[in-house]
Amino acid sequence: MSDQIELRGVTKVFGGGLFERDRNVALEGVSLTVATDRPAITAVAGESGSGKTTLARLLLGVIEPTSGQVLYNGKDLRKMSRDERRQFRREVQPIFQDPFEVYNPFYKIDHIFSVPVAKYQMASSKAEARKLVHGALEMVGLRPQETLGRYPHQLSGGQRQRAMVARALLLKPRVILADEPVSMVDASLRATILESVRRLNRELGISVVYITHDLTTAYQISDNIIVLYKGRIAEAGAVEHVIRDPRHPYTQLLVQSIPQPKPDKRWSAYELEAGTAGRAGSTGCKFADRCPSAMQSCWDTVPPLYQREPHRVASCFMYRDVPIMDGNDVATVFRQPARRGPDAAAAAPVSERA
């Protein structure tokens, strides 16, 4: 079985129990494969309510799908043995959005490092543990003597977030799931944190799933991207295609609305209609109510993924003349990056390290 983490036809519904009237379909029939033997950075982008955080939590095994499967190295997360689950928990590491909430204020920063070291018996002596922790901190540009021994409130938001990256790194994971890692840090630190995420991928050969609402940083650090809209994939493929030349009307709207830091490239002066959303039925395309090019078929049928180019699919009837993508995995259109990781030069498969 190849090394990968995989969503297979996953649907996640919240609510809708016996006494609840509101059924909220957070994710609908999404399939996605993230290979760990060819480390890439895959962005999952969307607005609030698009299902991107649900997708992250499914991949982490924190929540279970309503239907479909989440597989790690071919094994269903729900059917894993204790040992397999333990290994999964070590090899798939999260970095969360809020660098304030993830810390317990009563413990020093050291706590987030000493627990995993002890739990996974990563070091045989205190000196060895210290060396590991120091190495991880230095990798993300933190000075150990300025970080360890302090309480979370004594560090800045950027330092706390980088400490979380260091903690993820300490466990030598195969996959890092970064859920909006830079949305709460200032501009000057954002670059530093993104750079350390990129180094994890380039130098250590860790696959990264970068979950974000910010298409600019997604474009900058990822190889491939999937754009979610209300729980379904709108467009997916190589990031150069999807962001530089979007095809789905929703992606086009998103890209046009990015406030670029360029006074000479301002938003077009047309005022968009305010809040017509909410009329989309459950039968057709979820974007039909906001779409300038909506046709009758958009209201009746869910558009499949049309593959116009080798490295892009779009779920839109505007492309109904091109082939429908075979199978259910958007990752087949992803562009494979050049080999990365510590032994990339030797061209040895990264899976054989350690």
Partner 1 sequence: MTTVAPLHGAGVPATGKPVLEVRDLRVHYDTDVGQVPAVDGASFSLQSGERLALVGESGSGKTTLAMALLRLTRPPGRIVSGEVLLNGQDLLKLDDKEMRGVRLSGIALVQQGAMNSMNPVVRVREQLLDGLYDHGIKLTKVEARERVAQLLTGVGLTPEVADMFPHELSGGMKQRVCIATATSLGPKVIVADEPTSALDVVVQRQVMVTLGRLQAGLHAAVVLVGHDMGLVAQFADTIGVMYAGKLVEVAPVAQIFGRPLHPYTKLLIESLPTLDHKQEKFVGIPGLPPALLDLPPGCVFHPRCPSVMEHCRGLAPGLREEQSRRWVACHLFPGEQVRNA
By the criterion CB under 8 A, which residues form the site for partner 1? 47-48, 156-159, 186-195, 198, 213, 215-217, 219-220, 243-244, 253-255, 257-264, 266-267, 269-275, 277
**Would you call 225 helix, strand, or coil by DSSP?**
strand
In whole angstroms, give the CA distance from residue 348 to residue 354. Answer: 12
Q: What is the CA radius of gyration of the chain?
A: 21
C-beta of 108: minimal distance to partner 1 in Å?
19
Least Å from the CB of residue 281 to partner 1: 19
Q: How far is the CB of 223 from partner 1 (least distance, A)?
A: 10
Give every CB contact of residue 329 below 8 A, 6+ residues apart in sequence: 31, 32, 33
Q: What are phi and psi of 181, to 5 degrees?
A: -65, -20
Smaller CB separation from partner 1, 137 or 255: 255
Token code pair at residue 288: 């039909």
Minimum CB distance to partner 1 smaller for 219 or for 306: 219
Nearer residue to partner 1 within complex by CB, 260 or 283: 260
- Report whether 329 contacts 236 (CB < 8 A): no
What's the rounded Cα separation, in Å, for the pair 172 and 252? 38
Q: Rank residues 187 and 346 by Cβ distance to partner 1 and give the closer one.
A: 187
DSSP per-residue string spanning 9-73: EEEEEEE--TT---EEEEEEEEEEEEESSS--EEEEE--TTSSHHHHHHHHHTSS--SEEEEEET
Please, what is the minimum distance in Å from the beta carbon of residue 280 to partner 1?
A: 14
Comparison of 162 and 174: residue with beta carbon closer to partner 1: 162
What gap in Å lies between CA 177 and CA 168, rounded to an integer?
9
> Shortest distance, CB of residue 74 to partner 1, whole angstroms?
33
Question: Are the CB atoms for 25 and 302 separated by under 8 Å?
Answer: no
Please report, for residues 213, 217, 256, the alpha-carbon distance to residue 98 in angstroms, rounded to integers and kept in the order given: 15, 17, 28
**Minimum CB distance to partner 1 smaller for 89 or for 202:** 202
- Least distance from partner 1 to the Cβ atom of residue 323, Å: 29
Least distance in angstroms from the C-beta of 269 to partner 1: 5
Q: Which is nearer to partner 1, 106 or 270 (CB)?
A: 270
